């Protein structure tokens, strides 16, 4: 995936910010002007013309308002959609969709020889090609009609002279859910899609969007009769600055009545999963996998049904914290805030979670409300969580937390699936059929590095990982 610092992401953030600002400031009275605010007359075009940039801004604004653009009448004014968003009582189903007007119809996967080729004597590209698609004179040449895209030439060239040109969204999708139509435009197969969001944050043209719940949350916050609670995923650490206390204060200034730590729910997941693991091992199970990543759960459901008997039945941290919140704060609108788009699918199956926001949307909301996190007076969570729960957003964090609780109560040999991709999907299918070798616990994270690299993040993953580790060091251990 692209890292968070790129112009497609900045453009998407500008759309979210202007949509949020229009609602906060004047209940969308200036909705039709939003594309012009995003792309002013003095801006430099990203797509060839200001007109085209504004057209894409308009489509992305529909998604920011909570609509699925491909299902809507593009010719209707934004003010019509703004009115519908304000009047909306029920959320649209969480959907990832392609904007055909923004899709660049990228060239299909192809291997090409660059000028770095030296026409060497070894010619490993030619000798390893199974279809004899490569000939070499002064330089290598690939016959594209014979090439089967196996990549052996690319992997064997000692100069790195053979380039692999991918379609970014297709390459990022771990389950082959996005493919081209006859005109080259990408389409998503919803029977395969696991809503991981990797395609959104891999597309260099900002052509893939999700329908946001941002306006629905802002409506609840604006309503003086409605109480709201923000449930912050542990990956929040490092996303909006170095001081989590100031972030908590910023959420309250935005209008949330209460702010709670989802790591509190992670502690319940840890103890529940540890007990389940011990029970399963005593019953002779070959292995068990974690269950807290919703994209992984959807991947198993749709693509690896044979592994389902090995998946933990324990709920996710969101599941348990939402249970706690519903019991302790009845009548509150509960809003999960995290890095994950797939959480919206999990929330649709959980009546205790009303809305889901990703960090990118929160950053836009802070900007729209003119909230400077660095200037806040630090607040704190009313209930503190353990260091083990706070380490969940890092790859290995869940397995490590469970190991801590299990101790010497059972033999525990974990392995990690650090990111879902085509190779790890195949590996998980193999586990379901042939087992995991010596391992008896498989931690599965959809995003490489963990939740700190999720599609909704705004901080660089490596920096966020350091911040989480430092936060863990200030925490108490979970009670065994």
Q: What are phi and psi of 169, to 5 degrees?
A: -70, -40
The DSSP result for 220-271, as a single string, is HHH-TT--EEEEE-GGGTTTS-S-HHHHHHHHHHHT-SEEEETHHHHHHHHH
The four Cα atoms 422, 194, 341, 11 give a dihedral, to 10 degrees, of 70
Distance between CA atoms of residues 402 and 400, nearest Å: 5
Residues 6+ apart with CB under 8 A from 200: 96, 208, 209, 210, 341, 455
Distances in Å between the Cα of 465 and the Cα atoms of 270, 290, 391, 406, 431 are 20, 21, 9, 25, 29
Output the pLDDT for position 72. Answer: 74
Assess contact for 321 and 264: CB atoms under 8 A.
Answer: yes
377 DSSP β-pair partners: none
Assess contact for 445 and 360: CB atoms under 8 A.
Answer: no
Distance between CA atoms of residues 399 and 38, nearest Å: 44
Distance between CA atoms of residues 181 and 105, nearest Å: 9
- Give me the helix-helix angle, 214-222 and 359-368, nearest 10°: 50
Distances in Å between the Cα of 151 and the Cα atoms of 147, 160, 170, 376 are 9, 12, 16, 52
Distance between CA atoms of residues 351 and 362, nearest Å: 22
98 DSSP β-pair partners: 208
Distance between CA atoms of residues 387 and 40, nearest Å: 46
Domains of the chain: 7-105+170-212 (3.30.70.20), 110-165 (3.30.70.20), 217-473 (3.40.950.10)
pLDDT beneath 50, residues of the chain? none
Q: What are phi and psi of 282, to 5 degrees?
A: -65, -25
The DSSP result for 93-136, as a single string, is PP-EEE-TTT---PPPSEEEE-TT----SS-HHHHH-TT--EEE
Alpha helices in 117-213 (DSSP H): 124-128, 152-156, 168-172
Distance between CA atoms of residues 471 and 460, nearest Å: 17
Query: DSSP code of 415?
Result: E
- The total of other beta-carbon atoms located within 10 Å of residue 430's CB is 12
- The total of other beta-carbon atoms located within 10 Å of residue 21's CB is 19
Assess contact for 428 and 307: CB atoms under 8 A.
Answer: yes
Output the pLDDT for position 75. Answer: 80
**Closest alpha carbon to 230 in 353, 103, 397:** 353
């Amino acid at each position: 995936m692209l890292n968070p610092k790129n112009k497609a992401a900045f453009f998407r953030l500008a759309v979210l910010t202007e949509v949020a600002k229009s609602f906060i400031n004047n209940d969308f009275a200036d909705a039709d002007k939003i594309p012009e605010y995003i792309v002013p007359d003095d801006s430099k075009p990203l797509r060839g013309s200001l007109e085209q940039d504004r057209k894409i801004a308009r489509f992305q604004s529909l998604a920011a308002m909570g609509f699925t653009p491909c299902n809507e009448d593009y010719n209707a004014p934004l003010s019509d959609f703004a009115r519908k968003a304000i009047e909306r009582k029920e959320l649209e189903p969480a959907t990832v969709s392609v904007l055909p007007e923004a899709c660049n119809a990228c060239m299909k996967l192809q291997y090409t020889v660059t000028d770095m080729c030296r026409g060497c004597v070894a010619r490993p590209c030619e000798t390893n090609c199974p279809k004899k698609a490569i000939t070499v004179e002064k330089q290598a040449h690939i016959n594209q009609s014979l090439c089967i895209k196996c990549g052996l030439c690319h992997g064997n060239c000692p100069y790195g002279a053979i380039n692999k040109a991918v379609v970014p969204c297709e390459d990022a999708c771990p389950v082959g859910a996005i493919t081209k139509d006859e005109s080259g435009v990408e389409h998503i197969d919803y029977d395969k899609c696991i809503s991981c969001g990797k395609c959104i944050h891999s597309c260099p043209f900002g052509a893939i969007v999700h329908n946001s719940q941002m306006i629905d949350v802002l409506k609840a916050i604006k309503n003086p009769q409605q109480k709201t609670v923000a449930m912050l995923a542990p990956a929040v650490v490092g996303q909006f600055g170095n001081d989590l206390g100031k972030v908590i204060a910023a959420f309250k200034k935005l209008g949330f009545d209460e702010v709670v730590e989802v790591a509190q729910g992670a502690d319940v997941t840890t103890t529940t999963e540890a007990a389940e693991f011990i029970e399963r091992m005593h019953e002779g199970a070959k292995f068990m996998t974690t269950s807290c990543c919703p994209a992984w759960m959807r991947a198993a459901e749709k693509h690896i049904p044979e592994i389902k008997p090995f998946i933990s039945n324990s709920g996710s941290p969101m599941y348990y914290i939402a249970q706690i919140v519903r019991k302790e704060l009845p009548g509150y609108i509960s809003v999960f805030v995290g890095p994950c788009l797939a959480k919206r699918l999990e929330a649709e199956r959980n009546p205790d979670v009303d809305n889901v926001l990703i960090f990118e949307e929160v950053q836009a909301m802070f900007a729209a409300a003119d909230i400077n996190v660095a200037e806040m007076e630090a607040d704190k969570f009313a209930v503190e969580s353990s260091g083990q729960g706070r380490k969940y957003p890092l790859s290995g964090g869940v397995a490590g937390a469970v190991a801590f609780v299990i101790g010497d109560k059972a033999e525990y040999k974990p392995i990690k699936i650090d990111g879902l991709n085509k190779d790890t999907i195949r590996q998980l299918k193999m586990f379901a059929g042939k087992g995991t070798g010596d391992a008896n616990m498989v931690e599965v994270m959809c995003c490489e590095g963990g939740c700190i690299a999720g599609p909704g993040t705004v901080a660089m993953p490596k920096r966020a990982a350091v911040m989480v580790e430092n936060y863990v060091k200030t925490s108490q251990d979970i009670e065994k």
